[in-house]
Amino acid sequence: MQHDLSHAALEIREGRESASNLMELSIAAAQSPLCAHVFSQTFFDSARWAAAETPKAAPLAGLAISIKDLFDTEGSRSAASSVLLKDAPLAAANATAVERLRKAGAAIIGRTHMVEFAFSGVGVNPHFGTPAALDARHPANPQLAPTQPARVPGGSSSGAAVSIASGAAWAALGSDTGGSIRIPAALNGLVGFKSTARLVPLTGTVPLSPTLDTACAITRSVRDAVLIHEILAERKVPADDRPLSQWRLAVPRQIFFEQIEPAVKTAFEHSISQLQAAGTAIEWIDLPELEELDAVNAIGGFSPTESYAWHRRYLNNPEQAALYDPRVRSRIERGAQMSAADYLDLLAARKAWIAKMEAAIAPFDALLSPTTPICAPTIASVAPANGANPEADARHDAEFVRVNTLLLRNTSVVNMLDGCALSLPCHQAHELPMGLMIWHAALHDDAVLQISAAIEATLQAVN
């Protein structure tokens, strides 16, 4: 599958391709070694039926769409890739986001594995295995190629990204609480758009942090990101064909480049130079407000506290608590330490910080940053503990903490800002996948999408 969802849907509408034929290709990809550990459940029979029966004029035209394992799909179980919820009741109805995709003509091919309860940016899952990252432009099987060690797919929407990169799905519904859409998009050479959180209802989802959770998607192109966002948010993104020279863009110096790998720094700066050579005005700026974020989160952060409120019913039972991935459990249990007063202080501190940030970035149409400061590390380097070698387990745990912290650092800024952001591939064919993040504050979604489309076109024209 070399083209995107929008192109495929157009071919179906014009009678040059059939949804049923494309579905068979998606199912074949879903059953291939590329999709090892990607799907928690597959719905091939119903997907075939949807592909055959969906009207050609439907926006998604019966094409294969995957669903992250925390969204309810009627008649299936939302286990959030945990063994704890393996016997949870079957969903009586679709999550709002899933229902909107179905009404738009999506053929749901399956539910994708994820980091347990969405609490990590690395993508590792000790219960069901970890899908290996793929570059969507040049898919290869790193699990079978001895010269290419398998690399983490990013999380928490790990299976979602690989379902697209492998060709099993044309778009993937996921969630983004601290970067869980943009990180796996960046590490798999895909597009990930995190909308302003309030634009898409979270009804029918397993929560991580209701304050920060965002229902959104990974796609192959910005054009597809616009299409899926319009469906999920039930709103139209206006067309804007202004050249990049008419937008004002900025690159903040603080935070985003700390501990950055040389390859990522080079790829990002090369992309910026290409945009400037095409006439784009890009200003490097100081944004000291970013350095205040650590103090805001010093109280404890939203994700541990809000997730603990949901998980304490299980964690208070020793037998159930033992079923958690220890790395996930330890992060959730930190939330038990926050008092109600601390939580109210956190809400107030975030509100004040958002006001400062919005004022500081108001002169710009969008900001540009590396999506992540590092490329995908090998799965082996962050492998979950197995008890066979305590020294290796301790080394892997320490590396996991380092990698997770770095992968989440840049993207989580936008979640705390209550903003919107899109990750766009910015690597060359011979490089590991890397992402360029285009972002701004809340409800700047249209500008972020419009600017991202122009940047995508510019970079594709010169590469």
Catalytic residue among 6, 26, 66, 68: 68
Phi, psi (5° rounding) for residue 344?
Answer: -65, -35
Given this model, what pLDDT does residue 339 score?
Answer: 96
Q: Is residue 164 part of a domain?
A: yes
10 Å Cβ neighbour count for 79? 24
Residue-level pLDDT at 2 = 54
CA distance 143 to 154: 16
Give the active site residue among 66, 156, 166, 307.
156
Residue 68 annotated in active site? yes
End-to-end CA distance of the chain: 20
In the prediction, which pLDDT does 356 show? 98
**Is 113 among the domain residues?**
yes
Q: Is 82 a catalytic residue?
A: no
- Compute the distance between CA of residue 139 and CA of residue 146 in angstroms, rounded to an integer: 15
pLDDT attached to residue 384 = 85
Query: In the chain, how many domains are there?
Result: 1
DSSP 378: B
The reply to whether 318 falls in a domain is no
Residue 322 in any domain: the answer is: no
Q: Does 346 map to a domain?
A: no
**Quick check: is 380 in a domain?**
yes
Q: What does the alpha-carbon distance between residue 454 and residue 463 come to, in Å, rounded to a whole number? A: 14
Domain hosting residue 196, numbered range: 1-293+356-462
Q: How far apart are CA 158 and CA 183, in angstroms?
A: 9
| CA–CA distance, 56 with 303 (Å, rounded to integer) | 42
Q: What's the pLDDT score for residue 387?
A: 79
How buried is residue 286: exposed, middle or buried, by Cβ count under 10 Å (0-12/13-18/19+)? Answer: exposed
156 is an active site residue: yes
| Residue 375 falls inside a structural domain | yes
Q: Annotate 68-107 with DSSP letters as a single string.
A: ETTB--TTS---TT-STTTTPPPPSS--HHHHHHHHTT-E
pLDDT in tens, the chain (463 residues): 458 999 999 999 999 999 999 999 999 999 999 999 999 999 999 999 999 999 999 999 999 999 999 999 999 999 999 999 999 999 999 999 999 999 999 999 999 999 999 999 999 999 999 999 999 887 765 655 666 789 999 999 999 999 999 999 999 999 999 999 999 999 999 999 999 999 999 999 999 999 999 999 999 999 999 999 999 999 999 999 899 999 999 999 999 999 999 999 999 999 999 999 999 999 999 999 999 999 999 988 999 999 999 999 999 999 999 999 999 999 999 999 999 999 999 999 999 999 999 999 999 999 999 999 999 999 999 988 787 788 988 999 999 999 999 999 999 999 999 999 999 999 988 899 999 999 999 999 999 999 999 999 999 998 7
CATH assignment at residue 60 = 3.90.1300.10
**Domain-located, residue 198:** yes
By DSSP bridging, strand 281-285 and strand 366-370 are unpaired
Alpha-carbon Rg of the chain, whole angstroms? Answer: 21
Per-residue tokens: 269: 């700066």
The one-character DSSP state at 29 is: H
Query: CA 328 to CA 444: how far, in whole Å?
Result: 33
**Active site residue: 180, 195, 423, 452, which one?**
180
Q: State the Cα–Cα distance between residues 265 and 434, nearest whole angstrom.
A: 10
Neighbours of 215 (CB within 10 A): 29
